[in-house]
């Protein structure tokens, strides 16, 4: 009995830590509708700042708690700077575009932290006065765990009081429900947003600072927490602080007991729980319908077919690409294959997001399934290169068909998070099922057939397949099916009223996007000769997302620009020291100069040039 | 504003051209070595490693280079992604004119680059990855590995573990290939030496995401006589802290892989557990003349004591220089022929050689106990375990490799 109590208390202590970071994320999303990837970075900064303060002050019990609070306040200040200098300028950008900016902040914070605090993990002191364990029913329970168990609900109560007893809190809740109405009533939204962002960042900083006595402060803290924090927010319902608390308790306690029975389960457990919750409750436990979308934005312009001159320019560019191996070095053709694979991947994701109106945080799943299917066909079935390559998109289509059926029942951020859960579950299977997938040692030796083994021949094979895929998606976007999808995206109700089966169309759109991502995966695996679970990882999905958003979601050319920019800039800057800082800076520059993405920036540039010429 | 916008966008548009620019030709009297590692992903381990090879390059060039030419290393960051690592390897060979490739830390990146080396017929010296598969089940003609492997280090610990009274063992290891290999090798070796032991509990926390409290509780619940630990880095710190808070380590021997390496031991500071049996590197206490010279040069250049990565980076370059000298050229086949049975007669950690049968070096590791000496974490009672003693015989090892 005592043993289970101890396990429960440990779970609850973890729940408090998780709640602190998730609550801040939930508040930020609720008010500003920003999917804040930088939240993990704020958490990490809180931990580093608290470490520095605690070890410099050496002030016993008051010194420790002062340091923790001071770190939270400092992180709130950093949040304010980020909000004022970057986010405030891009609230009017397309949905989720702010996410790109926060991604840039993540990169900058990573390198800044490395530069300031160094690479080595830092182990802070234990909390003074709470540095031992007490025995409850014969089981040792760390005192600090008990303190955390108290802090979590205390913070929840404080937030509740602020939200229900202060004017500011009432406005925050009002904004969470209906931003336009709050604005219409004359509330200064700008300051409301800033304040919510500061509060959210400070909570993340507090969460990080309170971790000092429990773990070493390290550079991995940001990315290791962010996925789980999102899961908690979504299970609880976006914007609901109480929901975040319940979800944090649910996840942490389940994990504490699940590892007794099945120790390997930790890597996917939160995502499985999230998938189950979302299938039963499409808005999370405490979320409201309508909590899933970003702010209102201008209706999208219809897509236009290319005029004759643009078509000629495009054909000329394709011809240039096709003849490029004759002039450039061998390595450049290899780089161009990478660019083409990334472009097809981004275009397929754009088809789903831009045309289909379904945001995906897990598109790499289908890329990875395609790559793994092709690799396994070669290694286990002994297939040749071309049939294996054909199997890639087929397998990806089946996976997309299966997961898409569940995903299209949701919308907005909830849909996105369910795609992420699907991807993470597939990743977990690939990672864990060593006998079949090779685990994280991957599958090696998947090289092109003899006739295609020269860099140049493979370049042309990739050119045909990738450009073919991109052309197909473009063609579909302009087909009746594409028109229907865009209609569903812009107004589901009107589309249903004229007799369109909206879910079926979205499901098929999802599957088509997955299929083409699988084709990209199949081309990828033969160009690299090996595939690892990284291909399905969240990180890879996020790369795709950044390419699409950075390129510009409202234009068919957007993902092409985005993919080229990402691959080429990364290839270029990663030669430099502190390249993540530079890369993050470039991303922020693009975000601020072109809030409608690179495609929008290019379009405006062309207009300017024409006007100047005229 | 418009002007700035145009300039920036113009500059962005011109970026792809940068890839097309011709490289500055390197002087003919140098030998270019390609190097790739996870510098941004795992800086705590790769920074000392980089310093190590930089020191070796400096010393070798100061002494006249190799075959009368200076060694030049072109070093790149793989961003922690195997696909990027392969692209970089291609670039190092095709564009930078590297005669071979060395480096990598993560096992999956090591395996990916090894497979690339096999396909493109390039000599690859895997410096840091520990995976057994690299030289055994997925070994190939073009790949050699320097650092003592998971199997070797686990076997060194199993030898010590067998001397304990403990019969009931529990294991905790990160849930990925390295952790799984480390547990499997330890179990096999310990059971061979002590058929009476039993393994009563296994915990597999996700790597860098250990939920230490419940994990410690689960281990405690199985009431083992002793614990075998494979967690490292941030996971290790959490595990040690939670474990000591909950009395998990009281009267219970712990055998722990790699924990004696300064990269992992130093962050534990005052909480360093006492008497854990570990493999590692007592960098400041080794007093062989070779090591003293190395450590002094390192301290003088970088102002800090060398770490495990430093010694791996240093020995990598020593091995490559020895191979090129023996081969007499930088032709791949000649270098590969030289690598077979290559003896590195003098290194800071003592002599070692590369086995022809499985391409594994016999560089060893130090086995000892953790302790706090004057408030600083240290390895005490250590001995050098020569890698050769913990490898299967060359005949057996050859059978572990795929037919060529």
Structural contact between residues B9 and A593, judged by C-beta atoms closer than 8 angstroms: yes
Residue whose entry in the numeric block shows the structure tokens 């045909």: A464
Domains and CATH numbers, chain A: 2-219 (no CATH), 324-613 (1.10.3470)
Q: What b-and-e string marks burial along B245-255, b requiring 16 or more CB atoms within 10 Å of the CB?
A: bbebbeebbbb
Contact residues, chain A, for B81 at CB < 8 Å: 534
Task: Give backbone dihedrals phi and psi of A116, rounded to 5 degrees, phi first.
Answer: -80, -50
Chain A residue with CA closest to B80: the answer is: A534
Mutation target among A257, A266, A433 for the B interface, most CBs of B within 10 A: A266
Task: For residue A224, give how far its alpha carbon lies from the nearest alpha carbon of chain B (Å).
Answer: 7
Q: Please, what is the Cα angle at B229 between B227 and B231, to 5 degrees? A: 155
- Give the residue-averaged pLDDT of A215-227: 88
Structural contact between residues A141 and B217, judged by C-beta atoms closer than 8 angstroms: no
Task: For residue A218, give how far its alpha carbon lies from the nearest alpha carbon of chain B (Å).
Answer: 7
* Whether residues B235 and B345 fall in one domain: no
Q: Could you tell me which residue, A96 or B162, shows the higher pLDDT?
A: B162
Decide if pLDDT at B112 tops 80: yes
Choice among A45-49, B82-86, B211-215, B225-229 with the minimum mean pLDDT: B211-215
Structural contact between residues A275 and A428, judged by C-beta atoms closer than 8 angstroms: no
Does the beta carbon of B82 lie under 8 angstroms from any beta carbon of chain A?
Answer: yes
Does the beta carbon of B7 lie under 8 angstroms from any beta carbon of chain A?
Answer: no
Decide if pLDDT at A202 tops 90: yes
Flag whether B142 is in a domain.
Answer: yes
B64: which 2 tokens? 């006249």
Structural contact between residues A209 and A74, judged by C-beta atoms closer than 8 angstroms: no
Contact A608 B203 (CB under 8 A): no
Domain that holds residue B271: 151-283+366-390
Which residue in B206, B233, B242 is closest to A267 by CB distance?
A: B206
B157: which 2 tokens? 């610990």
Chain B residue with CA closest to A338: the answer is: B87
* Whether residues B164 and B189 fall in one domain: yes
- Per the rule left: phi > 0, alpha: psi between -120 and 50, beta: everything else, A229 is alpha
Decide if pLDDT at B331 tops 70: yes
Q: What b-and-e string marks burial along A467-482, b requiring 16 or more CB atoms within 10 Å of the CB?
A: bebbebbbebbeeeeb
CB-neighbour burial class of residue B21 (10 A; exposed 0-12, middle 13-18, buried 19+): exposed
Does the beta carbon of A570 lie under 8 angstroms from any beta carbon of chain B?
Answer: yes
Q: What b-and-e string marks burial along B202-223, b requiring 16 or more CB atoms within 10 Å of the CB?
A: bbbbbbbbbbbbbbbbbbbbbe
pLDDT value for A413:
85
Contact B112 A216 (CB under 8 A): no
Q: pLDDT digits over B267-316, tens only?
A: 998 889 999 999 999 988 999 999 999 999 999 999 999 999 999 999 99
Flag whether B12 is in a domain.
Answer: no
Structural contact between residues B211 and B181, judged by C-beta atoms closer than 8 angstroms: no
Q: Please state, in angstroms and as integers, the Cα–Cα distance from residue B162 to each residue in A497, B158, B277, B280, following that order.
A: 76, 6, 12, 19
* Whether residues B279 and B199 fall in one domain: yes
Helix (H, G, I), strand (E, B) or coil at A475: helix
Cα separation, B76 vs A59, in Å, equals 44
* Whether residues B371 and B228 fall in one domain: yes
Which of the four pLDDT bands, split at 50, 70 and 90, describes residue B163?
Answer: very high
- Give the residue-averaged pLDDT of B25-38: 83
Task: For residue B35, give how far its alpha carbon lies from the nearest alpha carbon of chain A (Å).
Answer: 12
Decide if pLDDT at B5 tops 70: no
Contact A442 B211 (CB under 8 A): no
Contact B175 A267 (CB under 8 A): yes
* Whether residues B200 and B291 fall in one domain: no
Mutation target among A48, A112, A120 for the B interface, most CBs of B within 10 A: A120
Domain CATH for B271: 3.40.50.2300
Cross-strand partners of B71: B31
Mutation target among B74, B177, B214, B235 for the A interface, most CBs of A within 10 A: B214
Q: Could you tell me which residue, B227 or A176, shows the higher pLDDT?
A: B227
Q: Considering only CA atoms, which of B142, B68, B136, B77 is closest in space to residue B105?
A: B77
Which of the four pLDDT bands, split at 50, 70 and 90, describes residue B18?
Answer: very low
Contact B268 A123 (CB under 8 A): yes
Q: Could you tell me the pTM of the whole model?
A: 0.90
Contact residues, chain A, for B47 at CB < 8 Å: 119
Q: pLDDT digits over A430-442, tens only?
A: 988 888 888 888 9
Contact A605 B209 (CB under 8 A): no
Contact B95 A329 (CB under 8 A): yes
Does the beta carbon of A224 lie under 8 angstroms from any beta carbon of chain B?
Answer: yes
Cα separation, A49 vs A51, in Å, equals 5
Cα separation, A453 vs A9, in Å, equals 58
Decide if pLDDT at A562 tops 90: yes
* Whether residues B345 and B207 fall in one domain: no
Within 13 Å of residue A251, how many CA atoms lie on the same side as its CB?
Answer: 36
Q: Quick one: how far is CA A21 from the chain centroid?
A: 16
Decide if pLDDT at B17 tops 60: no
Flag whether B17 is in a domain.
Answer: no
Which residue in B43, B76, B86 is closest to A528 by CB distance?
A: B86
Cα separation, B312 vs A577, in Å, equals 22
ipTM over 0.90: no
Does the beta carbon of B96 lie under 8 angstroms from any beta carbon of chain A?
Answer: no
Mutation target among B9, B10, B12, B107 for the A interface, most CBs of A within 10 A: B12
pLDDT value for A296:
47
Cα separation, A369 vs A269, in Å, equals 21
In 3-state terms chain B splits into helix, strand, coil percentages (rounded to 5) of 45, 20, 35
Q: Could you tell me which residue, A391 or A186, shows the higher pLDDT?
A: A391
Residue whose entry in the numeric block shows the structure tokens 């032991």: B197
Provide the mean pLDDT of chain A: 90
Helix (H, G, I), strand (E, B) or coil at A592: helix
Q: Considering only CA atoms, which of B290, B286, B269, B305 is closest in space to residue B365?
A: B286
Structural contact between residues A391 and A545, judged by C-beta atoms closer than 8 angstroms: no
Helix (H, G, I), strand (E, B) or coil at A19: helix
Cα separation, A28 vs A197, in Å, equals 5
Flag whether B23 is in a domain.
Answer: no
Q: How many domains are there within chain B?
A: 2
N- to C-terminal Cα separation, chain B? 63
Decide if pLDDT at A392 tops 50: yes
Contact residues, chain A, for B94 at CB < 8 Å: 329-331, 334
Structural contact between residues B86 and A337, judged by C-beta atoms closer than 8 angstroms: no
- Return residues 221-250 of B near A (CB < 8 Å): 221, 233-234, 237-238, 241-242, 245-247
Task: For residue B4, give how far its alpha carbon lies from the nearest alpha carbon of chain A (Å).
Answer: 9
pLDDT value for A499:
92
Task: For residue A135, give how far its alpha carbon lies from the nearest alpha carbon of chain B (Å).
Answer: 9
Structural contact between residues A473 and A393, judged by C-beta atoms closer than 8 angstroms: no
Which residue in A3, A123, A331 is closest to B271 by CB distance?
A: A123
Choice among A383-392, B18-27, B62-71, B189-198 with the minimum mean pLDDT: B18-27
Last residue of a domain, one of B363, B378, B399: B363
Helix (H, G, I), strand (E, B) or coil at B32: strand
pLDDT value for B39:
93
- Return residues 144-203 of A near B (CB < 8 Å): 145
Contact B82 A568 (CB under 8 A): no
Cross-strand partners of B343: B353
- Give the residue-averaged pLDDT of A80-102: 88
Cα separation, A266 vs A254, in Å, equals 10
pLDDT value for B23:
45
Question: What is residue B360's DSSP assignment?
Answer: B
Choice among A84-93, B84-93, B153-162, B284-293 with the minimum mean pLDDT: A84-93
Contacts of B402 (CB under 8 A, 6+ apart): B137, B138, B139, B140
Question: Ranked by mean pLDDT, which of A121-135, A435-449, B13-27, B316-330 comes out on top?
Answer: B316-330
Contact B107 A119 (CB under 8 A): no
Flag whether B55 is in a domain.
Answer: yes
Does the beta carbon of A321 lie under 8 angstroms from any beta carbon of chain B?
Answer: no
N- to C-terminal Cα separation, chain A? 84
Flag whether B399 is in a domain.
Answer: no
Structural contact between residues A447 and A385, judged by C-beta atoms closer than 8 angstroms: no
* Whether residues B223 and B155 fall in one domain: yes
Does the beta carbon of A592 lie under 8 angstroms from any beta carbon of chain B?
Answer: no
Q: Quick one: how far is CA A140 from the chain centroid?
A: 39
Cα separation, A47 vs A72, in Å, equals 9
Does the beta carbon of A449 lie under 8 angstroms from any beta carbon of chain B?
Answer: no
Task: Give backbone dihedrals phi and psi of A60, rounded to 5 degrees, phi first.
Answer: 65, -150
* Whether residues B75 and B200 fall in one domain: no
Cα separation, B319 vs B325, in Å, equals 10
Q: Considering only CA atoms, which of B146, B185, B191, B151 is closest in space to residue B390?
A: B151
Which residue in B91, B115, B268 is closest to A331 by CB distance?
A: B91
Does the beta carbon of A234 lie under 8 angstroms from any beta carbon of chain B?
Answer: no
- Return residues 80-119 of A near B (CB < 8 Å): 110-111, 114, 119
CB count within 10 Å of CB A354 equals: 28
* Cα four-point dihedral sign A25, A31, A32, A34: positive
DSSP B214-244: HHHHHHHHT--SEEEE---HHHHHHHHHHHH
Does the beta carbon of A430 lie under 8 angstroms from any beta carbon of chain B?
Answer: no
Question: What is residue B66's DSSP assignment?
Answer: B
* Whether residues B305 and B357 fall in one domain: yes
Contact residues, chain B, for A6 at CB < 8 Å: 217
Contact A441 B247 (CB under 8 A): no
Which residue in B108, B175, B266 is closest to A441 by CB distance?
A: B108
Task: For residue A487, give how far its alpha carbon lies from the nearest alpha carbon of chain B (Å).
Answer: 33
Instruction: Tell me what percent of the residues of chain A surpass a pLDDT of 70.
Output: 98
Flag whether B132 is in a domain.
Answer: yes
Task: For residue A220, give how far its alpha carbon lies from the nearest alpha carbon of chain B (Å).
Answer: 8
pLDDT value for A306:
78
For residue A279, the surrounding DSSP H or E stretch is helix A269-280
- Give the residue-averaged pLDDT of A569-583: 90
* Whether residues B179 and B295 fall in one domain: no
Structural contact between residues A105 and A38, judged by C-beta atoms closer than 8 angstroms: yes
For residue B85, the surrounding DSSP H or E stretch is helix B82-94
* Whether residues B196 and B157 fall in one domain: yes
* Whether residues B269 and B159 fall in one domain: yes
Instruction: Tell me what percent of the residues of chain A surpass a pLDDT of 90.
Output: 60
Chain A residue with CA closest to B23: the answer is: A329
Does the beta carbon of A529 lie under 8 angstroms from any beta carbon of chain B?
Answer: yes
Q: pLDDT digits over A478-533, tens only?
A: 999 999 999 998 888 899 999 999 999 999 999 999 999 999 999 999 999 999 99
Cα separation, B386 vs B156, in Å, equals 9
Structural contact between residues A41 and A114, judged by C-beta atoms closer than 8 angstroms: no
For residue A551, the surrounding DSSP H or E stretch is helix A538-551
Flag whether B15 is in a domain.
Answer: no
- Give the residue-averaged pLDDT of B225-237: 93
Cα separation, A439 vs A573, in Å, equals 31
Q: Considering only CA atoms, which of B289, B301, B281, B284 is closest in space to residue B59?
A: B301
Contact residues, chain A, for B87 at CB < 8 Å: 334-335, 338, 571
Q: Considering only CA atoms, which of B229, B234, B228, B183 is closest in space to residue B208?
A: B234
Does the beta carbon of A441 lie under 8 angstroms from any beta carbon of chain B?
Answer: yes
CB count within 10 Å of CB B152 equals: 26
Decide if pLDDT at A191 tops 60: yes
Instruction: Tell me what percent of the residues of chain B surpass a pLDDT of 90.
Output: 78
- Give the residue-averaged pLDDT of A295-324: 78
């Amino acid at each position: 009995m005592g043993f289970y109590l101890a396990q429960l208390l440990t779970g609850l202590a973890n729940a408090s830590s998780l709640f602190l970071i998730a609550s801040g994320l939930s508040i930020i999303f609720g008010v500003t509708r920003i999917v804040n990837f930088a939240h993990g970075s704020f958490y990490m900064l809180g931990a580093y700042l608290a470490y520095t303060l605690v070890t410099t002050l050496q002030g016993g019990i008051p010194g420790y708690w002062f340091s923790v609070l001071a770190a939270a306040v400092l992180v709130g200040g950093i949040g304010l700077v980020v909000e004022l200098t970057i986010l405030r300028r891009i609230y009017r950008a397309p949905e989720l575009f702010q996410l790109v900016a926060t991604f840039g902040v993540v990169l900058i914070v990573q390198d800044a932290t490395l530069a300031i605090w160094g690479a080595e993990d830092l182990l802070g002191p234990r909390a003074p006065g709470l540095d031992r364990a007490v025995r409850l029913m014969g089981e040792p329970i760390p005192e600090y765990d008990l303190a955390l168990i108290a802090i979590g609900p205390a913070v929840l109560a404080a937030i509740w009081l602020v939200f229900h007893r202060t004017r500011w809190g009432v406005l925050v809740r009002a904004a969470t429900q209906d931003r336009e109405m709050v604005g219409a009533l004359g509330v200064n939204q700008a300051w409301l947003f800033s304040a919510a962002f500061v509060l959210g960042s400070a909570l993340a900083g507090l969460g990080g600072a309170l971790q000092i006595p429990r773990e070493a402060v390290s550079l991995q803290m940001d990315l290791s927490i962010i996925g789980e924090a999102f899961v908690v927010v979504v299970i609880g319902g976006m914007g609901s602080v109480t929901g975040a608390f319940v979800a944090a308790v649910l996840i942490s306690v389940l994990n504490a007991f699940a590892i007794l029975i099945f120790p390997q389960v930790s890597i996917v457990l939160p995502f499985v729980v999230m998938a189950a919750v979302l299938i039963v409750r499409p808005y999370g436990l405490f979320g409201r319908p309508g909590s899933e979308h970003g702010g209102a934005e201008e209706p999208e312009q219809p897509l236009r077919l290319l005029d004759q001159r643009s078509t000629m320019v495009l054909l000329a560019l394709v011809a240039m690409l096709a003849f490029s191996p004759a002039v450039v070095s061998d390595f450049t053709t290899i780089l161009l294959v990478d660019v083409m694979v990334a472009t097809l991947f981004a275009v397929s994701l754009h088809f789903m997001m831009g045309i289909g109106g379904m945001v995906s945080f897990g598109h790499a799943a289908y890329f990875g399934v395609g790559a793994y299917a092709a690799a396994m066909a070669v290694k286990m079935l002994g297939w040749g290169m071309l049939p294996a390559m054909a199997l890639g998109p087929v397998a990806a289509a089946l996976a997309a068909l299966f997961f898409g059926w569940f995903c299209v029942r949701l919308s907005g951020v909830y849909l996105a998070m369910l795609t992420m859960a699907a991807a993470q579950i597939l990743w977990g299977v690939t990672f864990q099922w060593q006998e079949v997938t090779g685990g994280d040692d991957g599958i090696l030796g998947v090289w092109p057939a003899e006739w295609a083994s020269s860099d140049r021949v493979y370049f042309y094979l990739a050119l045909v397949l990738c450009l073919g895929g991109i052309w197909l998606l473009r063609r579909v976007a302009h087909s009746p099916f594409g028109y229907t999808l865009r209609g569903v995206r812009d107004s589901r109700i009107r589309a249903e009223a004229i007799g369109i089966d909206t879910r079926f169309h979205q499901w098929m759109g999802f599957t088509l996007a997955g299929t083409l991502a699988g084709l990209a995966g199949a081309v990828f695996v033969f160009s690299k000769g090996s595939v690892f679970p990284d291909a399905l990882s969240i990180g890879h999905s996020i790369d795709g997302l950044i390419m699409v958003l950075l390129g510009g979601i409202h234009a068919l050319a957007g993902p092409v620009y985005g993919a080229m920019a990402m691959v080429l800039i990364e290839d270029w800057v990663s030669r430099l020291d502190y390249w993540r800082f530079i890369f993050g800076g470039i991303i922020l520059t693009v975000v601020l100069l072109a809030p409608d993405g690179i495609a929008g920036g290019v379009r405006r540039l062309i207009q300017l040039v024409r006007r100047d010429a005229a | 504003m418009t002007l700035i916008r145009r300039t920036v966008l113009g500059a962005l548009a011109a970026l792809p051209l940068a890839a097309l620019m011709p490289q500055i030709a390197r002087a003919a009297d140098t030998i270019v070595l390609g190097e790739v590692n996870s510098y941004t992903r795992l800086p705590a381990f790769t920074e000392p490693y980089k310093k190590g090879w930089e020191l070796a390059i400096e010393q070798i060039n100061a002494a006249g280079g190799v075959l009368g030419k200076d060694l030049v290393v072109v070093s790149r960051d793989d961003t922690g992604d195997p696909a990027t690592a392969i692209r970089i390897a291609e670039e190092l060979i095709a564009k930078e004119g590297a005669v071979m490739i060395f480096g990598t830390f993560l096992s999956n990146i090591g395996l990916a680059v090894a497979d690339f080396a096999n396909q493109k017929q390039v000599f690859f010296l895997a410096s840091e990855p520990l995976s057994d598969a690299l030289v055994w089940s997925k070994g190939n003609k073009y790949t050699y590995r320097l650092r003592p492997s998971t199997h070797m280090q686990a076997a060194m610990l199993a030898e010590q573990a067998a001397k304990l009274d403990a019969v009931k063992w529990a294991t905790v290891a990160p849930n990925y290939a390295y952790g799984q290999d480390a547990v499997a090798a330890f179990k096999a070796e310990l059971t061979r030496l002590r058929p009476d032991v039993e393994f009563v509990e296994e915990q597999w926390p996700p790597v860098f995401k250990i939920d230490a409290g419940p994990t410690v509780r689960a281990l405690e619940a199985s009431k083992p006589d002793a614990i075998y630990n494979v967690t490292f880095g941030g996971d290790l710190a959490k595990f040690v802290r939670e474990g000591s808070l909950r009395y998990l380590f009281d009267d219970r021997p712990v055998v722990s892989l790699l924990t004696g390496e300064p990269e992992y031991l130093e962050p534990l500071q005052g909480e360093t557990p006492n008497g854990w049996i570990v493999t590692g590197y007592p960098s400041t206490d080794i007093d062989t003349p070779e090591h003293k010279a190395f450590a002094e040069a390192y301290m003088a250049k970088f102002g800090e004591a060398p770490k495990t990565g430093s010694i791996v980076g240093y020995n990598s370059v020593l091995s490559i220089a020895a191979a090129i000298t023996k081969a007499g050229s930088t032709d791949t086949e000649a270098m590969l022929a030289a690598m077979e049975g290559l003896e590195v007669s003098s290194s800071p950690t003592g002599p070692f050689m590369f086995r022809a049968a499985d391409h594994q070096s016999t560089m060893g590791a130090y086995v000892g106990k953790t302790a706090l000496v004057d408030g600083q974490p240290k390895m005490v009672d250590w001995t050098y375990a020569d890698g050769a003693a913990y490898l299967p015989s060359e005949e057996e090892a050859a059978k572990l490799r795929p037919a060529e």
